[in-house]
Amino acid sequence: MCEIKLQDESFSKRFTSYSSGSIQPKAPAGHSWESLMEMARNEARCAQKEGEVPVGAVVVEMGGTIVGFGHNRCIQDHDISAHAEIVALRCAGQTLRTYRFSSCIMVVTLEPCAMCTACILNARLNGVVFGARDHRAGAIVSSCSETFSSAFGVRIWYMGGVLGLLCAQDLQRFFAQRRCERIEEELLCSTIMSPQRIS
């Protein structure tokens, strides 16, 4: 286990990383990290079918019980906070009838953003495992990792890169498809709006 080294006191210093040279944390009973990530990917597929950005998350107790799951629901719920992580935490809260989850780990397909990372810290999760890094908005190891001061009296371990390539490819395919659809719509609109010459 190694501490994240940053130049100043930051949000992500509340997390402890497992590097390639560290002993990997043991997965919850009856699971592997890969099998849990596949569950999260299944949730991400549900999001995609519903027209949402395909991110999925599960919350699992160390004993192996899945207590929460969720995927992005911002568009259909008209709720900017309905990211996969927060939906999964809400589900876990209803399952366990609590708002603190010190015996639980979250497995999520994409590195959490600042909003979700703050919720994870407040929920006192034991650890976070993510698939793909979010270089633009990730708040654990990527671009937003120094956004907040370390006002939380809690340390949470994290491990990134579990099925990371597959998780990244899921998102890349989704956005590539979105771009193609947008181009097709623009072409269709320009064709309809263009005056036709009558010979």
Helix axes 164-193, 33-49, angle to 10 degrees: 10
Q: b vs e for 43-79, b when ≥16 Cβ sit within 10 Å of the residue's Cβ?
A: bbebbbeeebbbbbbbbbbeeeebbbbbbbbbeeeee
* Beta carbons of 64 and 35 less than 8 angstroms apart: no
* Beta carbons of 92 and 68 less than 8 angstroms apart: yes
Residue with tokens 């890169």: 161
Kindly list the catalytic residues. Answer: 85
Residue with tokens 């320009």: 190
